[in-house]
Structure 1
C-alpha cells in the first residue's frame, strides 16, 4: 500500500531556524520523557529491589471483573479510568513528541537514521530508536504514526512500535527484580526476534518479496514552524484520542470475555487463546507483570505465561486502530499475526528454560 507523505515544499531550511527547530524538538522529547517515563521508573526500582515483589494488582481485575463476566458499563468505565490514570502522562508526551518530529525536525535527518538499506538493518535502527522512549503500545502509536507519515520505512516504523513495549529497558529491569530469571530471558530473546526479525518479515510480506530499492532522495520539507506544530498536534489529537477512548472502553467492557483464562488452565488450546487474545487487550507499561504473576500463582501453565509476556505488551486493539490508517491495514494485520506467533514462541522458550 502506498503511504502518503508530506508534500514537497521549499528547500530544506538551513541556519538558525533549522537549529532552533531541532533544539526545540530535542528539548520537548527529553523534558517529556524525563517527566513521564525516566523519573517515575527510576523511582520505582529501589522499592522493587528491596521487596522483590510487584506492588499493585492486575488492571484487568479493576472493578471486580473476573474472567467470564459479561460486558457492562461499569466494567468499561472502571477500566478506562484506571488505564487513563496509568498512561495519561505518556500519552500526552507521545502526542507532543510526535507533532515535534513531524514539524520541527528536517525529514532528511531522521530518515537517514531510520531508512537504512535492507529490511533487517532498517528494523534494527527502528528498534534501537525505541529504547529511550519506553512507552506502551498505545502511547507509542502517535509517534509511530508520525514517523510513518514522514516517510519512515515499514520495517523501521513497525520495529519502533514493537520495540517500545517489548524491549523497554525499565520493564526488563522490573522483571529481573520480581520474577524468575527465565521470564526476563524469554522476553529479551523473543522480543528481540520480533522487533528485528518480525518487523523485517512484516515489511517483506506487506511491501512485496522483491528486495527494497535504495532509499530515494528525500524531498525537501517546509521549514520548522510553531504554527504547523500546533496544527498537527490539534489535528492528530482530534483524530486519535476519540477513537482511542472508544476502543479502550470497549476492551474494558468486554475484558471478562476477552480474557477467559482461569486458574489451573493448561494445554495447547489455552496457550493459543493467550497468544491470540493477548494481542487485543490493552495494558499500561509493565501491566503484564502482575497479570502473569497472578495467573502463574493461580496455576496457569508456564507456557501460557510465556505467551502473555509477549502478546500482552506488544500490540493491542486500541493501538491497532490508532496506527491502522498510517501503516496500512495489510501491515497492521501482518504485525498482529506475527506477534501472535511470537506468543507461541515465547511459550516454547519459557518451557525450555524452566524444564
Structure 2
C-alpha cells in the first residue's frame, strides 16, 4: 500500500504532467490549428507545399538543397519537437510506472486502443511524437500501445482531417480515417507478436524495479532522462532530416505526371512517402500541388497515408526503443496499406 504522503505526491506529479501537456499543446498545436482551420475553410488552402510549388522541376541531390529543406522543416516543427522531448522526458519521472504498466503495459487490444486514443489530442508529426513513444517504452509500456500512440498522432490528427476536408475533399478524409484506424489500431496490435512475450512474473519484476527507480531526487532523475534523450535524439534527428532533404528529388521525381495506376508506381510512391519526413499536415499542400500538376487519385491516396505515418528520421529516433522486427513490420505495413489506399483512390478520388 502507498503511504498517504506518497499517494499525494504521485497525484501532484500526474497533475503537473497533464498541466504541462495541456499548456504546451494549446500553445504549439491547438490554438494555431484553430486559425489554420479558419484559413482552410475560407481559402481551401493551408499554404504552399514544403516540396516547392512546381513538382515537375527535377532536383538533384545537393548539400544546399538538403540544408534548405532542413531549415524550412525545422522552422516549422521546432516548437513541437521541443515539446515532444520535454513530455517524453517528464513522462519518465512524473507518471507512475505501475499505472502505465497496468493500463498500457499489456499486449491486449485494450492497451493498444488506449495508446491510440491518447494520441488523438496530441496532433504531432511522427518525429515530434517519437520522443514520447521512447519515454513510454522506457516505462515498459507494451509495443502495441506505444506504437499506437506514435502512429496515431500523425494519422488520426483531427486538425489534419478538418484541413483535408476543406482543402482536398471529404473523400480524402474518409480514406485517411479508414486506413489511419487500420494502421494505428490493427497494425500496432499485431506488432505485439513481433516483440518478446512479457510473462506475468516479468511484469511484477518491472513494477518492483520501477518503484525503486522512482525513489530519489525528482530533478536529478528528470535531468538524467532529458540528457539521455537529447544527446541521442537531436543529432540523429538533424542528420536524418538533412539526408531526406538531399534525396527528396529522387524520392518524388516528376510526381505531377504520376497519373497512372500501375501497382509498381504505387509501390514506389508508397516507399518514398514512408521514408520522407514532413511537418504536421504538410501532406495536404503537397498533394494539392501535385494534383494541380496532373497527379492521379491513386498516387495521391498513397501519399495521403504514407507521408505522415512514419519516416526514416522518426524510425531512427525510436530505433533503440522497439525491436528491429517490429519497425520492419510497421514500415512494410505502411507501404502495403499505402498501396491498397492508392488502389482505392483510383476508384474513389
Q: How does 1:1-355 map to 2 (within 5 A)?
A: 14-51=6-43, 53-61=44-52, 68-116=58-106, 118=108, 120-207=109-196, 213=199, 216-217=203-204, 218-219=207-208, 220=211, 221-223=213-215, 225-265=218-258, 266=260, 267-354=262-349
Q: 1:12 to 1:235 in 2, by over 3 A?
A: farther
Distance 1:11 1:203 in 2: 35
Segments of structure 2 that go 5 or more residues without pairing to the other structure are none
The 3 A distance-change label for structure 1 pair 117 and 55 is: closer
Normalised TM-score (structure 1):
0.90
Q: Which has the higher helix share?
A: 2
328-337 or 190-199, which moves further after superposition? 328-337
2-structure distance, mates of 1:301, 1:66: 14
Deviations along 1:82-111, one digit per CA (max 9) or x if unpaired, are: 001110010010011111110111111222
Displacement of 1:116: 4.2
Matches of 2:221 and 2:194, distance apart in 1: 35
Where structure 1 has 5 or more consecutive residues not aligned to the other structure, the ranges are: 1-9
CA contact 1:12–1:106 (8 Å) conserved in 2: no
Contact 1:28 1:96 in 2 (8 A): no
Contact 1:175 1:289 in 2 (8 A): yes
How far residue 67 of structure 1 moved from its aligned partner, in angstroms, is 5.8
Q: Is the 8 Å Cα contact of residues 58 and 291 (structure 1) preserved in structure 2?
A: yes
- Which range is displaced more, 315-324 or 213-222? 213-222
Shift of 1:205: 3.2
Tell me, yes or no, if the aligned pair for 1:202 and 1:338 is still in contact at 8 Å: no
TM-score (norm 2): 0.91
Report the number of matched residues. Answer: 339
Q: Which 4+ stretches in 1 moved above 3 angstroms?
A: 10-13, 64-68, 205-208, 212-215
Q: Structure 1 residues 247, 11: CA separation in 2 closer, same or farther (over 3 Å shift)? A: farther
| SS of match in other structure, 2:14 | helix
CA shift digits 1:256-303 (9 cap, x unpaired): 112224322123222111111111100000000011111122121211
Larger CA deviation: 314-323 vs 229-238: 229-238
- Specify whether residues 61 and 137 from structure 1 end up closer, same or farther in structure 2 by C-alpha distance, changes over 3 A only: same
Separation in structure 2 between the aligned mates of residue 12 and residue 341 of structure 1, nearest angstrom: 51
Residues 181-235 of structure 1: CA distance to partner in whole angstroms, max 9, x if unpaired? 1100000001001111111222223447xxx755833222414712211221122
